[in-house]
Chains A and B, each alone.
Chain A
Amino acid sequence: GDSVTQMEGPVTLSEEAFLTINCTYTATGYPSLFWYVQYPGEGLQLLLKATKADDKGSNKGFEATYRKETTSFHLEKGSVQVSDSAVYFCALRNTGRRALTFGSGTRLQVQP
């Protein structure tokens, strides 16, 4: 079946540091890929998405590129802020399936 693997956290960075959170997936067919963010006490918010190979999703300074050859969708940001501290979830939605398959989440802590 489909699965998503994320790097384990927490990831602790200083403000303005470069961020990478790794995500790889296993799926048949041509899934769409998503990154969600969960701030403390809130639900999941869609951060960005990519629907086909080589697509780059971007939002709020975050980027991720759909790499079919490496089955990866790594999240990057050039300069993190304290307000980016949250849990980040990588997810996929496969053709013919309505529900998302989530990774286990990666907690990011950004220190001033």
Chain B
Amino acid sequence: ETGVTQTPRHLVMGMTNKKSLKCEQHLGHNAMYWYKQSAKKPLELMFVYNFKEQTENNSVPSRFSPECPNSSHLFLHLHTLQPEDSALYLCASSQQQGNNQPQHFGDGTRLSIL
């Protein structure tokens, strides 16, 4: 139990569907992150939120739309995805202050695009 819960664990969707990934952290952290982990590629940072405000967007296509309603919840809304978007999507959280604070990860959502 890492304190970061992601749902669903697995998701299969067609390219025209709309779905959302959910992340919830119970650690009292104020920064949350979305990462994409594809086979044979390094972990890619997608978005960073700090106190509900987006502070980083690493040139992510608009078919991925994040939402952070409060410091404990983070969503990733998906629509019109492509087959290359199939990957493990990891959510993480951390304390904002200090670069010595580690990130705590959820178990991820395994996304498959048909």
Chain B residues near A42 (CB, 8 Å)? 107-108
Q: Tell me the residues in window 7-63 of chain A with beta carbons closer than 8 Å to chain B beta carbons.
A: 30-32, 34, 36, 41-46, 49, 51
Q: Which residue of B lies closest to A41 (CB)?
A: B107
Interface mask (B97-114 → A, CB under 8 Å = 1, otherwise 0): 001111111111000000
Interface residues in B, total, Cβ within 8 A: 27
A89 to B42, CA, bound (A): 9
B95 (CB) vs chain A CBs: closest residue: A98
- Decide yes or no whether A95 CB sits under 8 A from chain B: yes
Total of A-B residue pairs, C-beta within 8 Å: 59
Compute how far the CA of A49 lies from the CA of B102 in the bound complex, rounded to whole angstroms: 8
When A51-B100, A94-B99 are in contact, do A99 and B107 touch as well, CB less than 8 Å? no
> Across the interface, which residues of B come within 8 angstroms of A88, CB to CB?
none
Q: What 1/0 mask marks residues of chain B from 75 to 114 whose CB sits below 8 Å from any chain A CB? A: 0000000000000001010101001111111111000000
CB neighbours (8 Å) of A112 from chain B are none
Q: What residue in chain B is nearest A102 (Cβ atoms)?
A: B43
List the B side residues contacting A93 at CB < 8 Å: 99-102
Shortest CB-to-CB span from B19 to chain A, Å, is: 20
Q: Is B17 an interface residue, CB under 8 A from the partner?
A: no
A residues within 8 Å of B by Cβ? Answer: 30-32, 34, 36, 41-46, 49, 51, 89, 93-100, 102-105
Using a CB–CB distance below 8 Å, which chain B residues touch chain A?
A: 2, 4, 6, 31, 33, 41-43, 45, 48, 50, 55-56, 90, 92, 94, 96, 99-108
18 contacts between A and B (CB under 8 A): A30-B99, A32-B100, A41-B107, A42-B107, A43-B105, A44-B90, A44-B92, A49-B102, A51-B99, A51-B100, A89-B43, A93-B99, A93-B101, A98-B48, A99-B33, A100-B45, A102-B43, A105-B42
5 shortest interchain CB distances as A-B pairs: A43-B105, A51-B100, A44-B105, A102-B43, A43-B107
